[in-house]
Amino acid sequence: MFNPLIEEIVEFRDERDWKQFHNPKDLAISLSLEASELLENFQWKTSEEAIDDNIDNIIDELADVVIYALLMSNELEINLEQAIKRKIHKNSQKYPVNKSFGSSKKYTDL
């Protein structure tokens, strides 16, 4: 699912000799920093205002978050498609429809 995209990202990285900086710790830090930059677009605004004012930047920051997540999955040899399906299954056990439908409560509070 992600292989061609990961290959393109890795090629971009390797052309610039950046692999040396892409260990799991630094990728996790970068992922968090980019997620914070994404959040910054929404600070002090409604969702609608943020989207109207910052959609191009939101797109760029979201892309950065996904790029770092894909690089991290590649570095750790994690099959993201399998990991996502596994997580959805776990969440379906924690949040059964009959208890969680329309609720924002954490599974421990259901």
Could you report the per-residue pLDDT of 12-52, keeping only the tens digit for each? 999 999 999 999 999 999 999 999 999 999 999 999 999 99
Tell me 42's DSSP state.
T
Structure tokens at 43: 């600070």
Could you report the per-residue pLDDT of 78-101, keeping only the tens digit for each? 999 999 999 999 999 999 999 999
Burial of 35 from C-beta contacts in 10 A (0-12 / 13-18 / 19+): middle
Structure tokens at 109: 């509070």
22 Cβ contact list (under 8 Å, min separation 6): 13, 71, 75
Task: State whether the Cα torsion 95-97-102-108 is positive or negative.
Answer: negative
